[in-house]
Structure 1
Amino acid sequence: MDGVQLQETENGKGALITVSGRLTVRFADQFSPKFRDLEARDGPLQVDISDADRIDTVGAWVLYRLRSVRQEAGKETEIVGASDDMEQLIQQIGDAKLDTRMRPEKRGGPLGLLERFGGHIVEGTLQLGAFLAFLGVTMMALGRTVLHPRRLRGAAIFRQAETVGVEALGIIGLMSFLVGIVIAQQGAVQLRQFGAEVFVINLVGRITFRELGVLMTAIMVAGRSGSAFAAQLGSMKLAEEIDAMRTIGMPPIEVLVLPRLLAAVLAMPLLAFYGSIMAIGGGTLVSWLQLGIPPATFISRLQEVVPITDVWVGLIKAPVFGLIIAVAGCFQGLQVEGNAEEVGRRTTAAVVQAIFLVIVLDAFFAVFFSMLGWL
């Protein structure tokens, strides 16, 4: 018999509902609304399920709910005709009924704040440990590739270098040019108070080559390429392409991570120097139009006031920043699990993590080069 039928008759104790058919999940949309209506009825009610062909957990739950809701309301309800198995299933459903919260209750007050703060500390520590472990595995894979150069995938490196470097020239050049304009303009406004507008050249030159050029370039690369690395590897992880690569003997670290890492390390110094030159161009333009300093004078003065160590400082930091950005992006991409929402979350985490580590490393570099006397 397909479906479920409910027949109502009267007996000496009140209404008698005879159930026939299958009380299973397949026909839940048929019998569940009918039992809902029975829950609201007044007077004694007797439900006979002796003619039911089959019952599963959904049917048992509907019967248990009918009886418990009516009994709580003080209405007499009886289920008859159940076999031992049916009665046992209904009883198990009742025993498993527990009050639960969809969301855990958050503790308020100072203790709740301390608990959440501690949770963030623990999560951050675990993430840092996993990141360092991934960095170690990547460095080991890089060492194996150096010992066996045939394992290096040159075509993949050049393709990633084109994506990270060549395709980023436009946005990095425009951004750096505008940053140079802003630095020169704001510097001129402040220095004019002391009649020292000429020192705008010192300001633009030193801050651009030493700090701002490489730092702004790293932030742009983190937002552009680091996020792309995380999204690409995360999508491959969801599609089980990475598991397939392992199955056929292709190490994902060597095939996917190393080309991106080497491309970022190679492209970052070039991008940083290019960004610094574009920022100098913006400063030169403002100095010419606003301060009346000709470009030839600007460049000549720049060579006098900017030591070569400033250029080397920026070029030394650039590949380290590129390595951190690539590792952060690939690490977050390979951590993706579950669904597409996780890809977006890990992509955001890759950008935040890369920018944070870049700024922290830049602070360490500042102290280190200061100790070396490269001021």
Structure 2
Amino acid sequence: MNGHTNTNGTHLPSTQKAAQFDPKTKSVQINNVPIPSIKPHEILVKVHAASLCHSDLMLFEPNEQGLTLGEDGPFTMGHEACGTVVSTGSEVKGFKPGEKIGWLPIVDCCFDCEECGIHNLYCERGTSKVQGMTVDGYFQQYCAIAWRNAVHIPDDMDLDCCAPLFCAGCTAFNAVTDTIFELKGEPSTTWIAVIGCGGLGTASSSIVEAIHTNEPSSGHLGIQYLKAYGYKIVGVDLNPQALKEAVNSGADHVFNPKTDTDYITQIRSITGKGCHAAINFTNSVQAYASTPDLLRMNGVLMVTGIPQKPLQFQAMDLSMTRFRLRGSNNGTTPRLEKCIEFSHKHGIKPHVTQFSLEEFPKMVELMEKGTQTGRLGVLFK
């Protein structure tokens, strides 16, 4: 028999196509794979859209973060997606077939320990895995997810462009809200720098020899969130198109270190004594090393992008509170709910260029070249 009937009576095919990473060859393949069966704590989702994140490229590159990416055989890539509920396991609460949902990618965690309250990747069990990075992810039409990772998407939100909100979006939103938590002034007189506005590029300058955004569009989304909160924004990026989008999103001033060689002096002049905070979305060590020069005394440097190599800061700068160092990430489900609510209320949308699944290798190639702005995604229709 071709296909099988799901627990709620929905007839599904037996197999599907998936974009997979082969750890042995470090290559991408489009393979036929089974439709997953769900466990009691899981939801079977029909994926509507999935998007490619720059951190997906870590699969192809060595890293110094202690991450083990991939297990024995090929697995399906993708850790940000959205879709509709097909069926639910016996332990699932609050979700039913047909509902629109998005979700976070950490599985095999308990969700209840102290560590999970901060980030599920560090669950005290020590068994956490990342869908799309170590086990099957979402570049396939049907996937199984942990129900406690999921949140509802309002009916009037467009699923075509929602997928990036479930990594890039919540990362940017949490970076913005964590930064705001550290600040005391009125938004209308408080300056925040966004380093990495959504594009990629290379240069040799005081702030970067290479800016590669960890989340290509996190910076773009971060500007939208900051604008919605009413803050003054300075954008820094090497990609002219990304800076144009930053202006369209509400940035008050933008600078390209390639052409604005005195941009640090200009930014300090515009903001008075420097920015009150800077959110770095890049994975450039050089960008991080020079970001403190943009800050006034006791400014906040928010670490969001993750370079492959360790960052270094002067202990005296931190002990004397020349600047404060904070970190932010994609967070937990309660924070994801707030991100979706805020994005819906303020009409914040990612910019996504869509492809077919068969074009997935082309998407990876484009991201590796770093010539695109916004997100690259696949629509399953």
| TM-score normalised by length of structure 1 | 0.19
Looking at secondary structure, tell me which structure has more helix per residue: 1
Indicate the structure with greater strand content.
Answer: 2
Whichever of the two has the greater Rg, that structure is 1
